[in-house]
Structure 1
């Protein structure tokens, strides 16, 4: 089955050029100029990847990104004319998986979408895992533990899956950047830290005395859980 891509951009030239390029690459594409129509469409047919502009006529694009990240499921690539480092950091911290500054060639977006689709690995043995009293459901984007259930974003889930696939093995920052498909940039490096911080909070971790996610300063991270896959 071909990948489904949803575009949100109020520029008709960009919508048309991206739609043609992605369709020619064998993907199913829907494109919208307004956030309300975009959100209604993806509720009916959830996509694999969302391309989201930040300058929209009816909504703050960052609010759209934040909501998509909280709901989980689709990968998020921001396409924006805002090119400052802080803009990129903010977008990635809110849960975007990639950030592309306009102007760009449609072929670059096709390549980034393909890379993002490749970076969504199948979990070992299934979509549910257990570790140290916790149960994670990657299909439902839920994390259940002693105090109840919480949800996580697609971006947070990608980091958690890396840890669960490699328990008790050092994950370097370079390995994480490569596996998550964000490249070696200051903004993406900071976004990884934010995602880990959010996971720690959901796991009830004390950063000064972590029981599951340990920082190895100057090297990377170590997940200390005992993992089993359903």
Structure 2
């Protein structure tokens, strides 16, 4: 049974999530503040964590940073904060995904399933296939309709980061720092230019991409 640690100071939400998640086969542990969450995670390491940012004793980002110092457990952050800056801060601190309150339980369950699939895939894929193109990470080769697609080194590096993290939201700052270096962390226009080039080369309809998606103001996500 998959163990889930739910961290939130709202007792009604905790109760609802405990009931819903248990009904879907999860083994649920709850914590109402950051210190209790860290103790619970250390005592019985969970398979997944649902973490609220607005906790009474610690900021959720601080809890996440502490957790990340000794665990790579997938973390889904949930919060009533709607600003993109809060989302970026949480993702850069190590969150794997983000959902904003109020949220639908179906969406929450779907995101948990996606996180669980990624965590179970211990062997890093060398071949990533979509209905439009295929990426061979080992050979550094991209094909579409059986033909090789030539990518520039920068295009390849961007694509590689995204396809190695399927369904995960990669922030603009992460991409800029990894592709161009920390000094370029604010040059978001670079990303727009190179993402447009990748879509023209790989997406059947560059104006309505299905695989290389933009999360406005935050980052990009690869959907297989």
TM bin, normalised by shorter chain, reads 0.5 to 0.7
Q: Does the alignment pair 1:168 with 2:136? A: no
Over 3 Å counting, the alpha-carbon distance change for 1:196 and 1:174 in structure 2 is: closer
Q: Give the total of aligned pairs.
A: 165
Q: What is the Cα deviation at residue 24 of structure 1?
A: 0.9
Which one of the candidate residues 173, 182, 206 is aligned to 2:168? 182
Q: Which has the larger radius of gyration?
A: 2
Q: What is the Cα deviation at residue 175 of structure 1?
A: 8.0
Over 3 Å counting, the alpha-carbon distance change for 1:175 and 1:194 in structure 2 is: closer
Q: Does the alignment pair 1:82 with 2:81? A: yes
Q: What is the Cα deviation at residue 19 of structure 1?
A: 1.2
TM-score, normalization by structure 1: 0.61
The residue aligned with 2:3 is 4
TM-score, normalization by structure 2: 0.62
Contact preservation (8 Å) 1:4, 1:28 = yes
Contact preservation (8 Å) 1:77, 1:99 = yes
Q: What is the Cα deviation at residue 115 of structure 1?
A: 1.0
Contact preservation (8 Å) 2:91, 2:171 = no
Contact preservation (8 Å) 1:48, 1:73 = no
- Rounded to whole Å, the distance in 2 between the matches of 1:25 and 1:19 is 10
- Rounded to whole Å, the distance in 2 between the matches of 1:72 and 1:175 is 21
Q: What is the Cα deviation at residue 75 of structure 1?
A: 0.4
Contact preservation (8 Å) 1:6, 1:31 = yes
- Rounded to whole Å, the distance in 2 between the matches of 1:4 and 1:17 is 17
The residue aligned with 1:29 is 28
Q: What is the Cα deviation at residue 219 of structure 1?
A: 4.0
Per-residue Cα deviation, 1:106-160 (whole angstroms, up to 9, x for no partner): 23211110111112212159xxxxxxxxxxxxxxxxxxxxxxxxxxxxxxxxxxx
- Rounded to whole Å, the distance in 2 between the matches of 1:41 and 1:27 is 16
